[in-house]
């Protein structure tokens, strides 16, 4: 929670710093001189958007690195491969979006690209992170579920405490190993 709040404060600081140093202006531009079409758009320096994108890219790369490093951890961390897939797909989408955004000359097309990019990023994240869980809930037979060693260890402790007449203080949470399905 502290790390999350620190990252949010850094992002807010970057945004306020950019807005103070280079406030956006309204401009009228005519993308095609022969057409009677004028766009009223928010004109801001390109470097102000790039600073925010670089910070977000650093966060995504840090997430990808942590997901890659934890991919071989034991049973309870089996979702790191899905996180890595989600992050890599997000990086690929944003790397294809950035040049397209800056090359587009019309403001309405830039806003459309921006909106579609956020929708695609959200859809990819939801699919990569939740589709395996939904598949497991709907299609996996309960007889194929293997319980992890953590559950077996808790069961042994409970059995030992019952045999010795002691009361159990362990919670009844059972961890399920879904990685081997």
pLDDT digits (tens, 9 = 90+) for 17-68: 988 998 888 888 777 778 788 888 777 787 888 888 888 888 888 888 887 7
Q: What does the mean pLDDT of the chain come to?
A: 77
47 CB-near residues (< 8 Å, 6+ apart): 22
Please state, in angstroms and as integers, the Cα–Cα distance from residue 125 to each residue in 86, 90, 139, 154, 178, following that order: 5, 8, 21, 34, 20
Nearest-5° Cα angle at 53, 31 to 68: 140
Q: What is the pTM of this model?
A: 0.59
């Amino acid at each position: 929670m502290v790390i999350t709040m620190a990252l949010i404060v850094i992002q807010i600081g970057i945004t306020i710093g950019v807005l103070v140093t280079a406030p956006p202006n309204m401009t009228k531009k005519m993308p095609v001189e022969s057409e009677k079409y004028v766009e009223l758009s928010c004109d801001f320096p390109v470097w102000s958007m790039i600073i925010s994108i670089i910070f977000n890219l650093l966060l995504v790369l840090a997430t990808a690195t942590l997901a890659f490093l934890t991919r071989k951890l034991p049973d309870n961390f089996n979702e790191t491969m899905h996180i890595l897939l989600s992050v890599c797909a997000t990086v690929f989408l944003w790397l294809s979006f950035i040049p397209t955004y800056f090359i587009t000359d019309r403001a309405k097309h830039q806003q459309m690209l921006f909106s579609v990019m956020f929708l695609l990023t959200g859809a990819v994240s939801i699919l990569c992170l939740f589709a395996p869980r939904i598949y497991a809930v709907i299609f996996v037979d309960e007889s194929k579920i293997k319980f992890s060693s953590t559950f077996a260890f808790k069961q042994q402790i409970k059995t030992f405490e019952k045999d010795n007449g002691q009361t159990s203080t362990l919670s009844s949470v059972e961890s399920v190993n879904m990685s081997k399905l």
